[in-house]
Structure 1
Amino acid sequence: MIQRISRLKTALPELTELENLISEGKQHMRIRVPAHIQRQGEHLPFYVIEMGSVKPDAPVLAVVGGVHGVERIGTQVILSFMKSLIRRLHWDPVVKEQLENIRLLMIPIVNPGGMAENSRSNLNGVDLMRNAPVEAEGNTPWLVGGHRISRSLPWYRGPAGAPMQTESRALCDAVHHALKDQKFCISIDCHSGFGTRDRLWFPYAKSTNPWPGIGAAHTLTELFEHSYPHHDLYLFEPQAHSYTTSGDLWDHLYDSYTAEQPDGCFIPMTLEMGSWLWVKKNPRHLFRYHSLFNPILPHRHQRILRRHLILFDFLMSAARTMPQWAPQGAADKTLAMNAALQRWYPGYSGNITTTV
C-alpha cells in the first residue's frame, strides 16, 4: 500500500496537491466524486468541487482543466488559482462577497488516468475533447479534427455509436447539473500546446460560421480589454479561426444548454496557452513529449502560474455582474452581434440565430 501511494504521488503530484487544497479549504467547499478511473489497481478520483452560493439564480463560473493528460500546466494553473482563493478567504472580504453571489464549479483534473500516464488521451486511448456526439460541418483537418481509425493514433474519438467515456460523461453531467436553470454562465477550460500566443477561444469548434453566442462573447472581450488595457497576453477569437473539430465537449454542452434554456446566456471559453513560445525560447522542449506542452524551467513555470490569476479574478467579477452587462433584449443582442461580426467575421452576410 505504501509503495502504491508513493507511486501515485510520483505519477500524479497534481492529485496530491488538489487533495491537500481540499483538506485546507473544505469548510468552503461542496465536494463530490461522481466517478473513479481505474489504473493499475488504483482508483483515481474524479473530483467535482463547488464553492459559493447555492441560490438557484446565482450566476455560474465553471473552471476546468486536465482534459488532455499531458497538458498538466492547465491543471496547475487552476490549482494556483484555488490556493490563492482559499487563502484570501481568510482575510479578503471582496472574495467572500464575490462567492456569496456566484456559484463556482471547479474540475481541475478531468483525465487523471491520462495525466498519470503523461498521455493526451485517457486510458482507453480516447481524446476526450473529440468524444462528444457532435459532428463538424464540412471537412476538418485530417486526424486532428477527430477520427475513428484507431486508438493508436492521436485525436481518436472512440468507436462510432459508443457512449461517451467515463470522464467525458462525468464532466458533462457536472456542468449540466451546475448550469441547470441558471440564466447566466461562463466556463473556462485550460489547455496548452497551440501557437506562440495565449488564446481565449469561443465556440464553435464544429463550424466556421459565426457561433450564435458570439455577441455576448464580444461584450465579455471588450470588458476585459477595456479593464486591463496593458494586459495584452490574450488573443480572443472563435476556435474555428484556427481549426475545426468533431466531438468538442463545449459545443455539445452549449447546444444542450440552449436547447433547454433558449433565453439563457452561456459563454464557454478555452484558454489555449501558447506552448510553441516555450519551445522557441528553449529548444530543449523538443526532446521530451511532456515539455512540448509544459514549461520546464522553474522561473518560466512560476511565471505561467501567476500570469493568469488576473484572468480568473476578472471572470469571477464578470460572472457576478453578468446580469448587468450581458446583452438582453432583441436590440442589445443585435448590436452585440453586429460588433462581433465586424471584429471576427468582416464581410459575413449569412443568417445567424441569436440565442443569447
Structure 2
Amino acid sequence: MGDAAARLPTELADIARLASDAGPHAVTQTVAEVVVDGTPLPVYAVVLGSADPSHPGVGFFGGVHGLERIGTEVVIACLRALVQRLKWDATLQRLLTTLRIVFMPLVNPGGLWRGTRANPQGVDLMRNSPVECAQAAPPLLGGQRLSAALPWYRGPAGAPMQIEAQAVCRVVEEELLCRPFALTVDCHSGFGLRDRLWFPHAHTPVPVRHLPEVLALTELLDDNLAHHRYIVEPQSRQYLAHGDLWDHLYLKAERGGRVLLPLTLEMGSWLWIKKNPRQMFSRQGLFNPLIEHRQHRVLRRHMGLLEFLLRAACSYRAWCPAQAQREALRERALQRWYAAGRPS
C-alpha cells in the first residue's frame, strides 16, 4: 500500500494541500472515491465564498478525461493563485462575500493515474449523461455503446451514470443550481490549433435558450480581455454528441428556472505538437505540453480568462441583458454562430 500511495497522482496531494492552506476560507469535500487496483483515489471538491443562495456562483472543473492532465493543472493553478491572494488581497476577500466558487480539479483520478481518457471502467464521462443526440452523431466520436474497448464509450444503456459523473452533477446541483446565476468552465485539451470556448448544445444544433446571455458574455470578453485568442462557439458547430454532461446540467437548470452558462475550454494541443513534433509519438504528448516552459506559458495564458469569469459572474446583473434587449441580442447571436451552418 505504501508503494501504491507513492505512485498516486501528485495532483491529489496538491489539491489537499491548497485546501488546507486556504484555512477557514475553504470547505473541502471528498465527493466520490474511486478504487483502482485496490487503492482508493478521492474526488475532491473545494468550495470558497458565500453560502448565500441569492449570490451567483462559478465552478472550475478539470481532469474529466484522464489523459488531459493540463486541464487539471490549469484549475489547480487558479486555486493556488486564489489561496495565495486570500492572504493579502482585500478586493478578493470582498469578492468572496458575494460569490460562491467551486473547484473540482480532478474529476477522473483513476483515468489520470492509468493514463486513459476514460475512467477505470472504460467509460468516457463526457458521453455518460442520459441526454440523447437529436440528430445523427458521428460514429464513435459522438458516443457509442458497443464496447469499453473502443473510445467514447457511453456505458451500458439504462445504467446509472458513473460515480465521477454523479459527483459532478451533485456538486453543481447543490452548490450552483440553487443560485440565480452561475458560470462553469470545464478545462480540456486536444482539439485543433486554437483555444476554443464551447457552449451548449452538444446534442442538437438548436440554439440554447440563453443565447442572449452567451453573446453578452462573449462581447464582454472581447471588450475586456485584450487580444485574447479564444474562439467562442457552440459545440454543435464542430460535432454532435450523445451524453454530454454539461448539456444535461444546463437542461436541468433551465427546467428549474435558473441561469447556468457552462463553458468548455478546449486548449488547442495540436499547436504544442506543431512546435514540438516529437510529442506526437507520446500519448501524453498528444494532449499536454511536455516542455516545462511551454507548460508554464499555458498556465499563465488561461489565468486571465478564469479571473475575468470570476468578475463577470460576480457582476452578472451589470451585463446580463434585460428582457427588452434579449431579442436583438438573439438575432445578432444567430447571425454570428448559426447563419453559416456547420463549418467545413
Aligned to 1:179: 176
Does residue 340 of the first structure (1) align with residue 333 of the second (2)? yes
- Asked if residue 7 in structure 1 is aligned to residue 7 in structure 2, the reply is yes
State how 1:187-266 maps to structure 2 within 5 Å.
Answer: 187-230=184-227, 232-261=228-257, 264-266=258-260
Question: For 1:296, which of 290, 296, 300 is the aligned residue?
Answer: 290
Instruction: Tell me how far apart the structure 2 counterparts of residues 237 and 205 of structure 1 sit (CA, whole Å).
Output: 11
Contact 2:177 2:260 in 1 (8 A): no
Cα deviation for residue 94 of structure 1 reads 1.4
| TM-score of the superposed pair, with normalisation by structure 2 | 0.97
Query: Aligned residue for 2:319?
Result: 325
The CA deviation at 1:179 is 2.2
Report deviation, 1:347.
6.7
Which whole-Å CA distance do the structure 2 matches of 1:295 and 1:59 have between them? 34
2:5 partner letter: I
Mark the runs of 5 or more structure 1 residues left unpaired by the alignment. Answer: 349-356
Encode CA deviations 1:152-210: one digit per residue, 9 max, x unaligned: 00000000111100000111011011123311111100000001000000000011222
Distance 2:299 2:292 in 1: 11
Q: In structure 1, give the amino acid aligned to 2:317.
A: P
What does residue range 53-132 of structure 1 map to in structure 2 within 5 Å? 53-132=50-129
Q: CA RMSD in A?
A: 1.2
1:3 alignment partner AA: D
Cα distance in 2 for partners of 1:113, 1:221 equals 35
Shift of 1:150: 0.3
Aligned amino acid, residue 325 of structure 2: D
The structural deviation recorded for 1:31 is 1.4
Shift of residue 54 of structure 1? 1.0
SS at match of 2:196: strand
* 2:222 alignment partner AA: E
What is the Cα deviation at residue 46 of structure 1? 1.1
For residue 213 of structure 1, report the CA deviation from its aligned partner. Answer: 1.7
C-alpha contact 1:205 1:251 (8 A) present in aligned 2: yes
Q: Which amino acid aligns with 2:301?
A: R
The Cα offsets for residues 11-52 of structure 1, whole Å up to 9 and x where unpaired, read as x11112112212211321011112110011111111111100
SS in 2 for 1:129: helix
Change (3 A) 1:216 1:39: same
Task: Provide Cα deviations, 1:119-178, integer angstroms capped at 9, x if missing partner.
Answer: 000000000000000011111111000000100000000001111000001110110111
2:140 is matched by which residue type in structure 1? Answer: L
* Conserved 8 A contact 1:184-1:323: no
Q: Amino acid of the residue matched to residue 335 of structure 2?
A: Q
What SS does the aligned partner of 2:33 have? strand
Q: State the SS of the aligned residue for 2:30.
A: strand
- Tell me which stretches of 4 or more aligned residues in structure 1 moved more than 4 Å: none
* Secondary structure, counterpart of 2:318 in structure 1: helix
CA contact (8 A) 1:265 1:326 kept: no
Count of aligned positions: 341
TM-superposed deviation, 1:328: 3.1
Unaligned runs of 5+ in 2: none
Inter-partner Cα distance in structure 2 for 1:54 and 1:44: 28
In structure 1, C-alpha distance between the alignment counterparts of 2:2 and 2:64, rounded to whole Å: 28
Matched, 1:310 2:304: yes
